[in-house]
Structure 1
């Protein structure tokens, strides 16, 4: 079985964005769902979420006492207005 059941909860997400003036670090607390798959990690972030999270290059978050860091490989807005981030864990 490639996928493990998702873990849901409230998480603080620290994320970086590349700008003309260099990387900017921001943070937000959101309800999330985390699922580890064979190809990487999928983080689904539910509303309300900041508009600039979709432009994140890297994310670091803690959920259920476990800290995860990853590079955003793919992002997609879903029909329920949540944001799906596919991460390559570091």
Structure 2
């Protein structure tokens, strides 16, 4: 059996934008996140695993920005899925 390792968790402030009937709405939430680098069809991407409790309406985000380890990241949400542990995965195509 292959061992399962979880990435270290970081407490981050996520700035995200979601569309509503009245236009885009920006929100900021603080949550515990695990980050993993991805290659999304040749483009740099990140997988963010957000630990529960999940912030309200984060699953409706179309873009996310945050600072981690002294660098700024921002990207477009390409996929999101709820996980069995009560968390959620977001796949961000970095811009």
- Count of equivalent residues: 86
Unaligned runs of 5+ in 2: 1-5
Compute the displacement of 1:41 (Å).
Answer: 1.2
**Structure 1 residue ranges without an equivalent (≥5):** none
What is the TM-score with the length of structure 1 in the denominator?
Answer: 0.87
Give the one of 41, 63, 78 matched to 2:83.
78
- 1:11 equivalenced with 2:9 (yes/no): no
- 2:65 paired residue number: 60
Counterparts of 1:42-57 in structure 2, within 5 Å, are 42-57=47-62
1:75: Cα distance to partner?
Answer: 0.3
Q: Tell me the residue number matched to 1:33.
A: 34
Q: Report the equivalent of 2:3.
A: none
Calculate the aligned-residue CA RMSD, in Å: 1.5
Which runs of at least 4 in structure 1 moved beyond 3 Å after TM superposition?
A: none
Secondary structure of 1:57 counterpart: strand
More divergent stretch after superposition (77-86 vs 7-16): 7-16
Give the alignment's TM-score, normalised by structure 2.
0.83
The structure with the largest alpha-carbon Rg is: 2
1:14/1:25 contact within 8 Å kept: yes
